[in-house]
Structure 1
Amino acid sequence: MIAFEATRAWAEAQDAADPLRDFRADFHIPQHEGRDTLYFCGNSLGLQPKGVRAAIEAELADWSGLAVEAHFRGRSPWMHYHEYVRDAMADVVGAQPHEVVAMNSLGVNLHLMLVSFYRPTAARPAILMEAGAFPTDRYALESQVRFHGFDPSTDLIELEADGTGGTLSMAAIERAIAEHGHRIALIVLPGVQYRTGQVFDLARIVRLGHARGCVVGFDLAHAVGNLPLALHDSGADFAVWCTYKYLNAGPGAVAGCFVHDRHAHADVPRFAGWWGHDKHTRFKMGPHFVPTPGADGWQISNPPILALAPLRASLDVFRRAGMPRLVEKSRRLTTYLDWLIRSRLDDTLDIVTPNDPAQRGAQLSVRVRAGRDAGRALFEYLEGRGVIGDWREPDVIRLSPTPLYNRYSDCLGAVEVIEAWRSQA
């Protein structure tokens, strides 16, 4: 355990000794009054990698110079462009390359997965999810239950938080599966709960669900690029995620999708599209859909080149940094921020996120003890002084020290700004 110190000299010494310190220079840091912001919002929108501009301009150059021929003769031929991010993304999520694909957006991918993996019957119509899920998930799951002719009031089982700060215990998940497993068709839970920052044990949830005959999938929007994931080994049937948070692929970036290898050749219902057809016969233009084995078989449209280029640039940074080193730094940074808040702001803030590093990633969710109005006032004060986090209703401020570009001195700086607000509040 590191012996932390709440001094500028100690924090700057840690930054100087950080083996990942040079990766900060790979990103554009927003400015505030001529200085770098203290940016703690990588859990909402990651910073822009400096390689993105060149990646996009390369495709623009091929478009202008080659037009349609860039599909075959470009520097990175467009015909196979989505495959250029496959291996690196598989490494980030702990999957086999053919189990992942970059396509669409998270909400669209979730619906596509539900088409194939939510197959309700009169005896087994239910979906198990968390109460207070991110709206994308709640809307998608409820609409799918209705689409199949079932009633969300009885067939959408929502697990209420039972832990400190609104967290959900593994015991509660286990009890719900034991009680309702016989009528649950599908379990969909997050890798990280967006409001509290709580991490869920994917492999254990899969084992519990599969033992009762349930299909199990995950929304990993706040987990990918943040946590050590082993999707293939977890046994999850499917997972979806966005790439604009920790993966830094830009606002509204192309999302990702995982389909486990055991479904690679499965004859399951799906919304078929031309680009999901077997690539060896795709251009024969036949009338009968033959899916490409693996996650590629769920593609509908051809890949958006200009949207994939930033993801490719960001994944190159991840490849050079390596997830094990990023996770190690993330745990140290987040633990330091946690220690600073508990030791210097314990009378002001409550930390919602679990204290156990195994149950959190690069996010601390805090509440101001004086209440929601004071919380909003603090959030606005932070913004006005170049400390960028985000606000989630009803009363949570999220601060995420992201290991690719955040520093120990950033954590100390944020706490010093909060102390200044407390002294004048």
Structure 2
Amino acid sequence: MPGNRGVAYEGPGKVEVRETDYPTFELKDGPGVNPANVGRKLPHAAILKTVATNICGSDQHMVRGRTTAPSGLVLGHEITGEVVETGPDVEYIKTGDLVSVPFNIACGRCRNCKEGKTGVCENVNPDRPGSAYGYVDMGGWVGGQADYVLVPYADWNLLKFPDKDRAMEKILDLAMLADIFPTGFHGCVSAGVKPGSTVYIAGAGPVGLAAAASAFLLGAAVVIVADLNKERLDQAHSFGCETINVALGEPKDQILHIIGEPEVDCAVDAVGFEARGHGHESEVERPATVLNSLMDVTRAGGALGIPGLYVTGDPGAADEAAKQGSLSIRIGLGWAKSHSFVTGQCPVMRYNRQLMMAILHDRVQIAKAVNATPIPLDQAPRGYHEFDEGAARKYVLDPHGMLTRAS
């Protein structure tokens, strides 16, 4: 049995690569594992050799100490891998398959899964619907920023790439299918982006950039990306986006300058609960700023896609209400403008196969759009630090050097 390493959260601002257990077909006790899941048998699972595993902005919320994540939690929910072993109940996935792992863990059997709502599976997290690898309060499934990882319900969850050699040629792009590409696409679909749309995207981190690329894929006429970080705005501009620096003020005036009117057809929140204010408040955390500004700049009858993360527990919030996930949302404004809102985890399986085909047939260059940057697993702490400092990159961990060899 080979050894295993994983990237573990060790307290606010600290991650380290540590030796960890090799996966087995039973969920063991450990940091963050729900007691009701301990001892759960997993004959339907597969063990993967990790080919690529990405650092996500959602991971950063935990690493900053903004959640109740326990020390020792192995991180990582954006996983691409090669199957090295399957449980006795796995019928269709085979050893040697190269696969993408949706970050949502789903059973494929419950009502929500059968309705395509895989982000809120009822059977994988004893506390509430919805689960993910290596994430706080999500059932305790071990994260995939590791050499090897276990994936339950493998026949249902895993997306097999149809041609392994061809997939390795585009592996950096395909590594975005586990989360940020479908998540950005879901934000745009939820917001009603279609040919000719004008689109406002709050946040130029990887999800925001993925949303921008998705908006173009869906036929948007103008894609406007807003952020406080010049390097990230420059990255958005590099593939055709208009950009707004919200440190200079409210976005409405800048939107007017770009498209000739102060409102857009559609808007996407790719920031979430650690949002800052605009203008002179840009250094101050204002968690409702993005949601309220999206209602302000979206036309009456428009829609808002909200893939940005919001939580029910934020110990680092500035006020007691926000610590419980209660924000000062201008719901009256949204009501008056008849806005539609879609929130929650992206149901990755709704989109990943179609987006895989778009990548394989050169309809999109998502790795280039988000500036995907491979680094070895042992450099994960550096990647977390640089990402937290605002680097305009999507760090992709390469535990076995397979990305480097492919490039």
Under TM normalisation by the shorter chain, which class is it?
0.3 to 0.5
Q: TM-score, normalised by structure 1?
A: 0.33
Q: Which has the larger radius of gyration?
A: 1
The structure that is strand-richer by fraction is 2
Q: Which has the higher contact order (CA 8 A, sep 6+)?
A: 1
Instruction: Name the structure where helix makes up a greater proportion of residues.
Output: 1
Q: When the two structures are superposed, what TM-score results if normalisation uses the length of structure 2? A: 0.34
